[in-house]
Amino acid sequence: MAKPALGPERGTNPVIWFAAIILAIVAVAVITIGLFVIISYLVIHPTTPSISVSYANLDKFDYDQLGMLDVQVRVVVKAKNGNIKNHVRFYGLELVLALHGLQMAKLVNEPFDVKKNDSVEFLYVVKSNKIPLRSVYRDYVQSSLMKNLVSLELKGTTKTRWKVWVVDSVKITLHMDCDLHFVVPNGSLSTGSRCSSKSS
């Protein structure tokens, strides 16, 4: 019985070998970098910066029979950097202080830096005189005064940027959305009012 003719054996194309080697090197490099970043993160353990209200007081809240409201409130905003290795830059800070949805003031600030493992505070004094209230706001104010508790909303954002070792720049936006409950007539902040940011 005749045997089938066998041609010469063909080796793998050198181009394929070269591509396989390059891919293997890239895969090893990616894994190595990933492990290095993870280990670096665990060693440094960076902390997300935050903003919060460290103090607030309703100095004045006068409402007359004509539906006019005079308000003065002090708010201290604290920017905190819990990182022990790097400073953090805060920028684009913009918070809106409102009464039942009625905007009273916008709290803003120029970009600023917070040193590592440190914090800074900014005092805002909001004065709004002779605010004409519509009926819905009049009802809300009257109800608040009867309860001896006035609530103001504080909403807004600020952006942060800092360096984490091998990562060139980390950027996180901090969101604040909370209610400040003031006891009237003394204007002190109620013990249940906690106001701090969330990151995204």
50-199 topology per CATH: Immunoglobulin-like (2.60.40)
What pLDDT band is residue 161 in, cutting at 50, 70 and 90?
Answer: very high
Q: Where are the domains of the chain?
A: 14-45, 50-199
pLDDT recorded at residue 44: 52
Alpha carbons within 13 A on the beta-carbon side of 79: 26
Whole-model pTM: value is 0.75
Mean pLDDT over residues 33-51, rounded? 68
pLDDT recorded at residue 8: 54
Mean pLDDT over residues 50-61, rounded? 95
- CA–CA distance, 188 with 80 (Å, rounded to integer): 23
Q: How far is residue 123 from each of residues 53, 68, 173, measured CA to CA in Å?
A: 10, 26, 22
